[in-house]
Amino acid sequence: MAVVSSVNFTIHKGTYFEETFSLIAEDGQGLNLTGSTATAKLKKHPTAGIAFTFSTTTTIADSTVKISMTSDVTSTLPSGRCYYDLIITSAGNTISKVLQGNVIVEETVSV
C-alpha cells in the first residue's frame, strides 16, 4: 500500500486550516487512489474519546489528499499538542494508515 509518513504541523484556533499531502506507494510511485476514500481525525491524545474530523479531498491524478477544517471547527480544538492520522480505505476495503503526526493547536488573540 503506502509508506506511513510522519508530518507535524500547527493549527491556529479560529482560523481556516488546509494542508495537502502527496501520497507515495512502497514502490516510490504515487499511490493509486482510484475508488479510495480518505479519513483524517485529530484527538488531544490517541485514546481520547473526542475526535475532530478533517474534511478530505482526494485527487487521483496526482495522488494527493487535502485535509481542511473551517474556522468554526478550529475554534473548538483543544490547545496544545494533539495527534492526528490519515487513513485510506481502498476500493477493496483495505484500510491503511498513510500519515500520522503531532499538531500544535495555538490560541489566536484577534479572533
pTM for the whole structure: 0.93
Domain boundaries, the chain: 5-106
**Other Cβ atoms closer than 10 A to 9:** 12
CB of 39 closer than 8 Å to CB of 86: yes
The superfamily (CATH) of domain 5-106 is: Immunoglobulins (2.60.40.10)
53-88 tens-digit pLDDT = 999 999 999 999 999 999 999 999 999 999 999 999
Identify the band that residue 26 occupies on the pLDDT scale cut at 50, 70 and 90: confident
29-45 tens-digit pLDDT = 999 999 999 999 999 99
**Half-sphere CA count of 109, side-chain side, radius 13 A:** 0
